[in-house]
Structure 1
Amino acid sequence: MTSPQPRPKKPPRWLLRRPDPDAPARLFLFPYSGCGASMFQGWPRRIGAIDVCLVQPPARQNRIGEPHYGTYENMARELVAYLRPHLDRPFAFFGHCGGALPGIEVTRQLAAAGLPLPQRVFVSGQVAPHDGPYSRLFELDRDGLRAELGHIITRLGGEPTGPLVEMGLEVLANDLEANRRYAPGRVTVGCGITAIGWSEDTEIPATLMGGWQDVSADCRTVELRGGHFDFLSAPQALLAEIRRDFGGVADAPAKQEQTVG
């Protein structure tokens, strides 16, 4: 009697949903520390003609059983391999706070591999790599992180129950450690950057974001009205900046801008 053959491992699910094969452009959204891709539930599925694609790192939500990526370099290495078939048309990255730096590292590794680069990297509420790591969360103990996670869950419309908070606490701690360890020094990327600050952001004040000018020769800075978490609702001012810097491919009838879910 032969032994049963082990089942082949399923490929990692780096995107929460399959990209639209008919969309002329794609925007990949990176979640920030402690969260998964569903944090973008308030965003449209399309921004004009741009298909909104949600990046899902391991160790959370539908990938809860997978080990944490450890470092942004590790995360980018796996993500670059996964994204190759989806880089066949204009694309860009967007990340806020702890989600901004993985987009930069993925861009660096795409360049090193000779693969297509994003049209733009949109970085929101985060300092440039050579000005970091920077976050008040680095100073919090586990009780402080637990309270912060409850605040994040509430912001996302959830109920911060004990099991939910404890489940996410390790993810938040590991994500922050990856942020703390990311110290590539003064880096440059061969694509444009739009650095988006927020007028009422007390976590990462817009005045700390000037270093992005050194990361790209084509860097545009903009300050939007709102606080650190206001990007979650995809305000029209933010979507307008994305459409502006993505270029003409973003133009499409407004009826295509439907909310996720």
Structure 2
Amino acid sequence: MATAAASQPVAQHMPRHVAIIMDGNGRWAAQRHLPRAAGHRAGVEAVRAVTRAARAMGVQALTLYAFSSENWRRPAEEVSGLMGLLKFFIRNDLAELVRENVRLRVIGDYRRFPADVVALVDDALGRTAANTGPILAIALNYGAQAELVTAAQRLAARAAAGAIPVEAIDGDAIEAELETRELPPLDLLIRTSGEQRLSNFLLWQAAYAELLFVDTLWPDFGPDDLADAIRAFGQRQRRYGGL
């Protein structure tokens, strides 16, 4: 467990919104000659530790890529196991999120999930809806390209109906249709396990985010690693196209 001093980055360099592609559960398990399900279980423990650390460090919003729209291609047994872990996390951690004033958000079409999972997610969203503290956003059945297509279709339909002029479809209008519209702008996107791609995650939102790819497998990523990532963010110069 990291000490408080070791885990605390410099406050003035704190990103408001951090997103994480949690990659490497399967490889973590393979290295230990364990089934993939064991890697996913260890990954849930990492989620718990990192979300607590992010709150302690003062991160306003944390978005975790938990289940992509492409994950349906995995074996049915693994998908079922992931659903079970999601239910486990909600049942075991919801009381803490409520107590800590965390606002839970979901991005993605989670209503494709089994009815019992949907019911649990809906209950969790309802029980944290009035909270005013940091946001924990979970990406469930999420794909950034589909998000952008849906936003474009909604705006096009309004323009076709005469509700808005075509000229009103600008960057602000698109952002207002995105599922992250209630979150601060994305400052830092981390991917674990050494892979260096976005995998259809927050493509619009990442336009000016700082990207950090680390070799650590997700189950081994902890508070110290998050603090290191935030320190690295603080050393970046964000010019947004300027000098």
TM-score scaled to structure 1, two decimals? 0.31
Give the TM-score taking structure 2 as reference length: 0.32
